[in-house]
Structure 1
């Protein structure tokens, strides 16, 4: 079996132990039949999840330990028991809503193991629970976020640089920010024609190879209000964005823009494209979180493995209450299973 084999279970990371990830993992397993979820293996933190399930009165979890080298058996175990591949974890409890840098190794170790085992062909894809970057930074984590860390792990595996691209996907909208976790005032300098071209090429390739969109239509937002009004409200759209679109069109891509971002996301506009490529984080994420806050899925494109995640954070304010909504995690699990089944790129190929 190869990386991304859709017949294999998925990896589900523990995420930030103090956040809602543990109770979401428990909810997903306990409601697996009702939600129609594919089999998954929790990577690290089984006792944390079981204790959170008890504390939230979700029910008792019957954990079953699985080991690397025999993870394919987890698919049948999943019918009755919650498969967990345990990792070394710090002594002491995890308290809902209270972060602890001592848990950082479990968080990053869960991600690393999920990626490694998926690339080894033991699991079909990676689904990540939310992390708390501030806590990880305090423990020495050097990446801006999940996406960049996954890109580094993929680069180490392949032996060359990988450009991970964040996509947020809902039922009728997919959005991609060209720049991600940087200050707004750094966006103009970070943008380049080459970066926009590379991002769109990755989006188109993955829409074809994993999402089954044979002829992707891409709408590209301008950076400035009204897409710069012909250069009268900033020159970036004329000098950086428009040349990228021209290059992409010359290569045969179905790309339009730069378009005013304030008119790109109403229902009629959304029907005219398969993905919207935006210039910065909030330009992309505000519309998707407005339209599909509980059901949106974070998908990382450009990787040699499938990765999805719920489109929300750690929600410390409700962690441990049982009030978290499992819908986005459920959609992330189901989308990961579909993408792993659909993907047409060979395992280990540059993506």
Structure 2
């Protein structure tokens, strides 16, 4: 359900309202029952949350109830230790279920990093939580939209640091992750393209040697492994080529190189996917929106897109070859 002080419970309920009875029955909501029922009443949801285990009547929604500590202290739009804790506990339970094979895909609403830090659960949001709970040594941020997908060699580091970490081994690992992610998403033969780090890919060394000395060798190594990968292509043209259908996924070298075009073009349909984990996970690509929390005006489009992406990934979740 995400942070209950934010818009997570509301957008979850609004997304559920647009589903068929069969899809609702196949969607296990993990959250505090008071907040989820309060959100359902806020939006006028025509269904009930039914706590599992047990039979769920047609049209209603199964709820794995996790009670929030000190529930009354969690207020709309306010940072809270207790909100951070329950947000963490919900993700923790979802990951355990996914690792056990009891659910296919985890789809998360937004958490607040400050509330998580106040609760002693780390300040790196979902990324840090998922890595710790799954034992993953490396994961990758993928932004997926109907137009194209983008995966990042580096994300939450300074621009100077991003240039430093753009080295052949990490670029090659990211290309591999891009190829595997697209296969998991149902693309039989993904077309990967790598964006250059420097303007004009360095212009033969005039604007930097990284593209020639580090990125190029990674691309060559990936091709030798049988991956369909092109590049490096200058960052100012590569996304238009992807939008035009030439490529399925772009390997961006740093956070803003990938995030700006993905969010600008993808809009509400841009979904956050974490690649490189032993489980499948999608998420909304927005924050907790404390300024509008519990007012009933939150737009559920991104949550709907994240759930739709999760459903597209589901058939391959049990496929050992894809995993």
- In the superposition, the TM-score normalised over structure 2's length comes to 0.91
- Decide whether the 8 Å contact of 1:58 with 1:322 is kept in 2: no
Cα 1:28–1:93 change in 2 (3 A) is farther
Aligned to 1:32: 19
Does 1:118 pair with 2:105?
no
Aligned to 1:293: 267
CA separation in 2, counterparts of 1:268 and 1:300? 20
Report how far residue 36 of structure 1 moved.
6.6
Report how far residue 250 of structure 1 moved.
2.4
Once the two structures are superposed, residues 271-302 of structure 1 have per-residue CA deviations (whole angstroms, 9 ceiling, x without a partner) of 11110010111111111111121111111122
Does 1:66 pair with 2:52?
yes
Once the two structures are superposed, residues 39-73 of structure 1 have per-residue CA deviations (whole angstroms, 9 ceiling, x without a partner) of 3112122211222343x443475221114xx7xx6
Cα 1:110–1:219 change in 2 (3 A) is same
Report how far residue 305 of structure 1 moved.
2.0
Map 1:250-265; keep pairs closer than 5 Å.
250-265=224-239
Map 1:155-166; keep pairs closer than 5 Å.
155=135, 161-166=136-141
Aligned residues between the structures: 322
| Structure that is richer in helix per residue | 2
- Decide whether the 8 Å contact of 1:173 with 1:275 is kept in 2: yes
Map 1:166-205; keep pairs closer than 5 Å.
166-205=141-180
CA separation in 1, counterparts of 2:35 and 2:259? 31
CA separation in 2, counterparts of 1:47 and 1:26? 13
CA RMSD of aligned residues (A): 2.4
- In the superposition, the TM-score normalised over structure 1's length comes to 0.84
Report how far residue 26 of structure 1 moved.
1.5
Aligned to 1:89: 68
Map 1:1-351; keep pairs closer than 5 Å.
14-33=1-20, 39-54=26-41, 56-59=42-45, 62-67=48-53, 77=56, 79-91=58-70, 92-142=72-122, 144-155=124-135, 161-208=136-183, 210-266=184-240, 270-343=244-317, 345-346=319-320, 351=323
- Decide whether the 8 Å contact of 2:147 with 2:242 is kept in 1: no
Report how far residue 131 of structure 1 moved.
0.9
- Decide whether the 8 Å contact of 2:241 with 2:247 is kept in 1: no
Cα 1:40–1:219 change in 2 (3 A) is same
Cα 1:246–1:110 change in 2 (3 A) is same
CA separation in 1, counterparts of 2:322 and 2:128? 16
Report how far residue 259 of structure 1 moved.
1.2
Cα 1:38–1:262 change in 2 (3 A) is farther
